[in-house]
Amino acid sequence: MSVLIRRHASFLLLLPAILLLAAFFILPTLQLVGLSFEGDAGAMTHYSRIFDRPVYVQVLQRTFLTSAATAVLCVLIGYPVAYRLVTGSNRTRLVLLALILVPFWTNLLVLCYGWLIVLNPQGAVNTLLLDIGLINTPLPLSGGIVAVLIGMVQTMMPYLILPVAANMARIDNRVLQAARSLGAPPLQVFLRAYLPMTLPGVMAGALLVFIMSIGFFIIPAILGGTRDIFIAQLIEMNINKVLNWGFAAALSTIVLVTTLALYAIGVRWFRLGSIWGQA
């Protein structure tokens, strides 16, 4: 008996999690996919509607493009922060971690309303820029893609910084010392030694941000303008208002398949698995 338990220990330890996932995640997800093929006019009713009317493909495009832009901005802003988080003094680290995590713990609606107030034409940012004479008329910051990106980048930043920092912390300092001792100037050390070694972390973080952004709903709805419609808004409308669950399921399935495909690409070519500690 004890031999049996020992031999299958890892499986037994995982069993509760596997059962939980199977019952409450995998099965419902499969049901959702199944539901998307049940229409009045055959299995493809909902899918042909999605591809017949350009609006759905446009909304999908917009969702993916905005999410990609969020990921790129997170990399550009988050990379230096992650570097300081790894190389800074204990004090610097504590302050940075607090700054990164406070928005992470703040309610999303509160964040959105905060940005609405800060970014509006009479808000703090415009008032400041007008007062110091940088601009003459208020910038249209609120109610558009600028506000959406600000909100999304702020919310997603921890998902970029933490994997990148974890990757940076594992870098062997001796490699950089070797590069310097061989006469490479600092810029070259960074470009040819440090950056390539941190790239897997960057890719992992960026993909994580991108995939999570696709499901966003509240931020584009509140901070966005006329054109800022995300696919999640249409799914929600069909689930909760129109009660066309088959159609909502078809939209969800498209998002699911796209996300899985991107994840597979990430694992295969960009070592996305490294965020979960895979070598």
Partner 1 sequence: MSDTLKPATGLSRRTFLTTSAVAGLGLSLGFPAVHGAKAQNAGKVIYATWGGSWEAAIKKAWFEPFTKATGIEVVTAQDNNYGKFQSMVESGSVEWDVVETNPDFQYIGAEKGLLEPLDFSVIDKSKIMKGEGFVTEYSVPQVLWSRLMAYNTKALGDKVPMDYTAIFNDVAGFPGKRAFQSEPNSGAFEAALLAAGVAPDKLYPLDIDKALEKWTEIKDHISFYETNAQAQQYISDGQASLSIMPDGRAMAAIKDGSPVGIQYNQSIMTWSSMVVPKGAPNKANAMKFLAYTMTPEAQAAIANEYTYGPVVPDAFKFISPERAKILSGGPQQQGKFIMANEEWWAKNLEEATERLTEWRLS
Q: Are the CB atoms for 143 and 225 separated by under 8 Å?
A: yes
Q: Is 46 in the site for partner 1 (CB under 8 A)?
A: no
Spatial separation of the C-alpha atoms in residues 179 and 245, rounded to whole Å: 59
Segment contacting partner 1 (CB under 8 A): 79-87, 167-175, 220-228, 264-272? 220-228
| φ, ψ of residue 229 in degrees (nearest 5) | -115, 125
Q: Is 58 in the site for partner 1 (CB under 8 A)?
A: yes
Amino acid at residue number 48: S
Contact pick of 62, 163, 189, 254 for partner 1 (by CB under 8 A): 62
Contact pick of 3, 243, 269, 278 for partner 1 (by CB under 8 A): 243
Segment contacting partner 1 (CB under 8 A): 154-162, 186-194, 222-230, 251-259? 222-230
Compare residues 28 and 80 and give the one whose CB is closer to partner 1: 28
Spatial separation of the C-alpha atoms in residues 253 and 156, rounded to whole Å: 23
Contact pick of 18, 23, 191, 257 for partner 1 (by CB under 8 A): 23
Spatial separation of the C-alpha atoms in residues 205 and 213, rounded to whole Å: 12
Compare residues 130 and 197 and give the one whose CB is closer to partner 1: 130
- In a 3-state reduction of DSSP, which class is residue 259? helix
Q: Are the CB atoms for 61 and 196 separated by under 8 Å?
A: no
Q: Are the CB atoms for 232 and 60 separated by under 8 Å?
A: no
* Residue numbers at the binding site for partner 1 (CB under 8 A): 23, 27-28, 31, 34-35, 38, 53-55, 58-59, 62, 113, 116-117, 120-122, 142-143, 218, 221-222, 225-227, 229, 233-234, 237-246
